[in-house]
Amino acid sequence: MIGNGDIRTPEDAAAMVALTGCDAVMIGRAAPANPWIFRQIAQYTATGAYERPTVEDRYRMIRAYFQMLLSECEATKDLPRDARIGETAGKMKQFATWFTHGVPGGAKLRAAIYQARTGAEVLDQVELFFTARAAETEVPESDSGHDPGAGPEDLAQAFPETALVCD
C-alpha cells in the first residue's frame, strides 16, 4: 500500500507510515519546491535527522535547471516547431514559484523573473539576485565556498557542477 496526501517533510512521511502502516509514500507537490525531499526522507528514516538545503544549494538547482532549458532550446531551435522543447521563459516562470520557495527574498526574484521576456533574461535575473545576496551576506569565503562580492562569472566558477555541456 502507498500512502499519499500532503507529505511535505520527512516527518510527514514518517507519520504517514506510522499512522497507516503503508509500505511507501508518494510525493507530489512538495518535490518541485524541495527536490531534496527524497534524500531527506532517507536520511530521516536512517538517522532521525536530515540536511536542509542552503541558499547556495537552491541557487545551484535553479541555475542548473534554467541553463538546461536554455541549452535544450538552443539544441532544438532548427527542428520543426512541434519537435522543439518550447518557449523557455514560460517554463522558467512556471517553475519560479516552486524553485524560489525557501529562498530569503524570493518574492523579489519571482517578480524579476515574471518581468523577463526571454529565457536568457530570466537566467540573468537569477544571477543578479544571487550575486546581490552573496554581496549582502557577510560570510567568510572559507564558510560559504565563494566570495561574497562575487559576480555571476565568479559564482559560476564557485559552483562548476551547474555548468552544463550539450553535445
What confidence score (pLDDT) does residue 142 get?
A: 40
Residue that wins the pLDDT comparison between 110 and 167: 110
Q: Are 103 and 113 in contact (CB under 8 A)?
A: no
Q: Are 24 and 2 in contact (CB under 8 A)?
A: yes
What confidence score (pLDDT) does residue 163 get?
A: 35
Both 128 and 93 in one domain: the answer is yes
Both 23 and 68 in one domain: the answer is no
Alpha-carbon gap, residue 167 to 165, rounded angstroms? 7
What confidence score (pLDDT) does residue 141 get?
A: 45
**What are the tens digits of pLDDT across the range 47-57?**
999 999 988 99
How many separate domains does the chain show?
A: 2
What confidence score (pLDDT) does residue 148 get?
A: 35
Both 65 and 147 in one domain: the answer is yes
pTM of the model: 0.69
Most trustworthy range by pLDDT among 15-19, 79-83, 99-103: 15-19
pLDDT at position 22 over 90: yes
pLDDT at position 166 over 50: no
Both 92 and 141 in one domain: the answer is yes
Domain presence at residue 116? yes
Query: In angstroms, how far is the first alpha carbon of the chain from the final one?
Result: 42
State the residue range of the domain holding 70: 55-162
What confidence score (pLDDT) does residue 138 get?
A: 53
Both 85 and 136 in one domain: the answer is yes
| Interval 70-91 mean pLDDT | 78
Both 43 and 59 in one domain: the answer is no
**DSSP assignment letter at 48:** S
Both 26 and 78 in one domain: the answer is no
